[in-house]
């Protein structure tokens, strides 16, 4: 699909993704201009039950719900690029605490919001579940 007009920089939206990235990169994230940047409003994304990463010690999968909340400034995150970005963690070996912070840092770099909070609710493995909340503000 050829895009014209104000959103032509969004390359993933409306396209078929044949191969998903094997490594997370903030370069995957696409943004678009916030035409209401003078307003304070919150955007929330939820990825429930599909987020996985790999424990760097045991090699076992870690499952999590990822919740992203942010108050945008000049740019907003495009949702399909976010979905592809989050899927790229499937092969990432790292602790959930670091992954949650990495997601927050990449989103911060991509859209430079006024405020952001990323929560990783990691599912029980061995009887222990955990939650990490990473935040940043201007």
Residues annotated as part of the active site: 55, 62
CA 137 to each of CA 42, 87, 109, 115, 134: distance values in angstroms, whole numbers, following the listed order: 13, 26, 12, 4, 11
DSSP label at 94?
S
Among candidate residues 110, 104, 96, the one with its CA nearest the CA of residue 137:
104
Strands 31-33 and 75-77: antiparallel
Q: Which long-range contacts (CB under 8 A, 24 or more apart) does 55-60 make?
A: 55/93, 55/95, 56/93, 56/94, 56/95, 59/93, 60/125
DSSP label at 46?
E
């Amino acid at each position: 699909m050829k895009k014209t007009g104000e959103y032509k920089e969004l390359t993933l939206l409306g396209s078929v993704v044949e191969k998903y990235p094997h490594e997370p990169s903030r370069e995957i994230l696409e943004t678009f201009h916030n035409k209401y940047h003078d307003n304070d409003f919150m955007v929330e994304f939820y990825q429930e039950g599909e987020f996985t990463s790999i424990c760097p010690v045991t090699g076992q999968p870690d499952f999590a719900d990822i919740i992203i909340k942010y108050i945008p400034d000049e740019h907003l995150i495009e949702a399909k690029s976010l979905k592809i970005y989050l899927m790229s963690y499937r092969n990432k070996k790292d602790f959930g605490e670091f992954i949650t912070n990495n997601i927050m840092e990449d989103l911060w770099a991509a859209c430079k919001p006024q405020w952001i909070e990323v929560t990783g609710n990691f599912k029980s493995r061995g009887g222990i579940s955990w939650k990490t909340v990473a935040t940043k503000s201007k």
